[in-house]
Structure 1
Amino acid sequence: MIALLLAASSAMVVSLVGTRYLLPWLRARGVGQPIRLDGPQGHITKAGTPTMGGAAIVAAAAVGYVVSHLRAETVITRSGIVLMAAVCGAGAVGLADDWIKVSRERNLGLNKRAKLFGLIAVGAGFAAACAWWVDIDTAIGFTRLDGNSLRIPASVWVLWAVVVVLGTSNAVNLTDGLDGLAAGSASLAFAAFVVVGYWAFRHPNSYDVKHPLDLAIVAAAMAGACAGFLWWNSPPARIFMGDTGSLAIGTAMAGLAMLLHVDLLLPVIGGLYVIETASVIVQVGSFQLFGRRVLRMAPMHHHLELGGWPETTVLIRLWIVNSLLVALALGVYYADYLSLGLIELPADSL
């Protein structure tokens, strides 16, 4: 527990203070975010806001992870190393994308092929290391590995992992369109992974997870880093995380879900990102098939803005939706543990 608190608190402090000093450095170099001209008109005033703040999130998470292991009782594991390396790799892809946007002064960074290749390389490297260096059980689980889990060969699992990394990182990227939306929702999602990892650590006979405590530490560091960044990213945002942050956050969530064997619970923990991504798919599909748009603008948060909701109202209500989905995921996770019959509940609680 001490390691988790060290990871979260140190990452939060580094993110909070680090972003404070990153802001003037970015402003001095004119690192400002270009804004979509076809987006909500209220966002035009945000043009020029410093971006690439996700670098502070990644750096803070790495520092939090290291600080938590300064105690002799806490051991750095292969799972933790591989996951942190993947987070840094995805952040590097996002950093390149953000830099191209800024240097060319347009809201388009890496071309789709280059960005896709970069994320595939990160996902494939992460998956291969997990399968053959960490030597995890390459099965797809819901709340834990049991007789109903889908057992697949390591080579197929690597492909599955790449798809999960691509899907989750891009889903978080799509959600990062309102001040504080991605950072706030990610803090809650990572908090859920802290609970899952620590629970698996405390009940090793019920969960076939390698290095669950170290994975919980990574989740705690990411949660703290996102929370610290939120201080500067809350409306009106003084800095954006950019793809540097959103791709790193999405990759961290995907990696935690697979290493903790809650792959199929990820769409519930990250339900907000599923909703946002689905809104884009529905919008594009409807326009291509029927020549009409279902939403005023995709993703969903822009649709709500154009419907007359103030940005802060959209933000808080989507946070509430995200909180309910995270609570649901944890409830399902705990209910599954109760189904094992390892705890005798008092008669008056039934």
Structure 2
Amino acid sequence: MPGTGAYLVIGAIAAVVTFVTTPIVGRVARRMGWVVEPDERRVHTVATPDVGGIAMFIGFVAAFGAARLMDTFDPLFAQFTEPRGVLFAATVIFVVGFIDDVREISAPAKVMGTIVAGVVLVWYGVTMFYFRVPFLDVYILSDDWVPLITVIWLLGMTNAINLIDGLDGLAAGIVAIGAGAFFLYSQRLGDIPGMITQPNIGSLVAILTVGICIGFLPHNFNPARIFMGDGGALLLGLLLAVSTSVVGGRADPTNPGVGGQTYFFLAPLVIPLFILGVPILDTLFAIVRRAARRQGVASA
């Protein structure tokens, strides 16, 4: 299992590459006209590039590639198909979001693109095995339910991040905190024999997510010089869905190593509810509002 230092190196690479490429992407976006103009729904007062997701995706790919070249991550990349699944699914969902940023696509088309990314994850085995319901029980998912629950979780997470991406620094900041918490949590679970399957891609995805958020945030703080757009928001949603699925969704509730320490079982639920409570509640309220107005749930 890779040490914490190796993960921090990968996170730093993601942060540096994202930080350096974001202003370059911003200049290209202005030349291409990939900007959003001020209006009554937006807080910014000047035309602002909204394809910062390009830099985030570049940072993700660069750090992912660096991990592949490091010997300490060889067991993960050599023995499992999951890394390829994450890379392919991230590419699919980023492309869907980028197209929506520059040309605008219908809400159903965006949902279908997200479902395709979810199918890619399932195909490569990036799924959850357990599903926790608040104050009720932990359900061991049958093979029939695994694909559906995994795709639904992805849809919910991507919509949650996409819907809160309205205030400068909010989405990237919340996701950085959430992913950071899951990284620490996955490291703790990794110390318990048999608690989660090792090597687990959740830690790598979580630290990558933290890195690209940290690299993007300096350019996105108020007043933002660039927005992540749907390309960035959907990418972050997918990465967060992956890390929560393969960490919280694989923490064995029957493992005797935790004894009576029930917080190990509750943490996969409590962490996202507390840290991601804002986007989750915002998503629920937004769905209710849009349903009442007969608007598409995935529309901007």
Scaled to the shorter chain, the TM-score interval is: 0.7 to 0.9
2:145 counterpart residue number: 156
TM-score (norm 1): 0.70
Identity %: 28
1:98 is aligned, of 98, 101, 120, to 101
Alignment of 1:261-340 (within 5 A): 261-262=248-249, 264-265=269-270, 266-284=272-290
1:216 counterpart residue number: 203
Aligned letter for 1:223? V
Output the CA distance in 2 between the equivalents of 1:38 and 1:241. 20
* Deviation, structure 1 residue 218: 1.7
* Deviation, structure 1 residue 60: 0.4
Output the CA distance in 1 between the equivalents of 2:130 and 2:225. 43
* Deviation, structure 1 residue 141: 4.2
1:73 counterpart residue number: 72
1:170-192 CA-partner distances (Å, limit 9, x unpaired):
11000000111111111111111
Alignment of 1:1-350 (within 5 A): 1-35=4-38, 37-39=39-41, 42-43=43-44, 45-46=45-46, 48-75=47-74, 76=77, 77-100=80-103, 109-130=104-125, 138-141=129-132, 149-205=138-194, 207-212=195-200, 214-262=201-249, 264-265=269-270, 266-284=272-290
Q: Which is worse superposed, 51-60 or 240-249?
A: 51-60
**Structure 2 residue matching 1:225: 3-state secondary structure:** helix
* Deviation, structure 1 residue 78: 2.7
* Deviation, structure 1 residue 222: 1.3
Output the CA distance in 2 between the equivalents of 1:71 and 1:34. 43
1:103-155 CA-partner distances (Å, limit 9, x unpaired):
xxxxxx2111211111111112212321xxx6x66332479xxxx53122223
Output the CA distance in 2 between the equivalents of 1:234 and 1:137. 34
1:319 counterpart residue number: none
Q: Gaps spanning 5+ residues in structure 1: where?
A: 101-108, 289-350
Structure 2 vs 1, CA of residues 142 and 64 (structure 1 numbering), >3 Å: closer, same or farther? farther
Structure 2 vs 1, CA of residues 142 and 12 (structure 1 numbering), >3 Å: closer, same or farther? farther
1:194-239 CA-partner distances (Å, limit 9, x unpaired):
112222222233x133422x32122111111111111111111111
1:346 counterpart residue number: none
TM-score (norm 2): 0.81
Aligned letter for 2:64? Y
Structure 2 vs 1, CA of residues 68 and 97 (structure 1 numbering), >3 Å: closer, same or farther? same
Output the CA distance in 1 between the equivalents of 2:288 and 2:112. 25
Output the CA distance in 2 between the equivalents of 1:192 and 1:209. 19
Is the CA contact 2:190–2:196 (under 8 Å) kept in the aligned structure 1?
no
Q: Which is worse superposed, 266-275 or 190-199?
A: 266-275
**Structure 1 residue matching 2:145: 3-state secondary structure:** helix
Q: Say what the alpha-carbon RMSD is for the aligned residues.
A: 2.3
Is the CA contact 2:202–2:244 (under 8 Å) kept in the aligned structure 1?
no
- The structure having more radius of gyration, on CA atoms, is 1
Kindly tell me the number of residue pairs found equivalent between the two proteins: 266
1:326 counterpart residue number: none
**Structure 1 residue matching 2:161: 3-state secondary structure:** helix
Q: Gaps spanning 5+ residues in structure 2: where?
A: 250-267, 295-300
